[in-house]
Amino acid sequence: RYPILDDFRLSPRLDLDYRDTGSEQSVSVEPTLRAEYRFHDFIFEARIQYMWRPTIDGGGIGYETGYAFTAGLQYDF
């Protein structure tokens, strides 16, 4: 986590995954950036994630891509 301000933090993350099922191989690369802001008893969190997954099978190479954005609000009591 990298503190930007006293109550604001950024957290980068990189997930790598390799799979070999015998009939196909795939690699998954998923960079994620998480932002967290604290205000009194509230925590606001937002994440943006990109997914890139090349797959190698008997028919050649295919690519699957996508992205996700999530946000949430938490109250500590």
pLDDT digits (tens, 9 = 90+) for 18-27: 988 887 788 8
This prediction has a pTM of 0.73
pLDDT band at 5 (very low <50, low <70, confident <90, very high): confident
Instruction: Note down the domain range covering 54.
Output: 2-75
Burial class (CB in 10 A: 0-12, 13-18, 19+), 1: exposed
Instruction: Quote the number of domains for the chain.
Output: 1
Q: State the Cα–Cα distance between residues 32 and 35, nearest whole angstrom.
A: 10
pLDDT band at 67 (very low <50, low <70, confident <90, very high): very high
Determine the pLDDT at residue 51.
Answer: 93
pLDDT band at 1 (very low <50, low <70, confident <90, very high): confident
Determine the pLDDT at residue 53.
Answer: 86
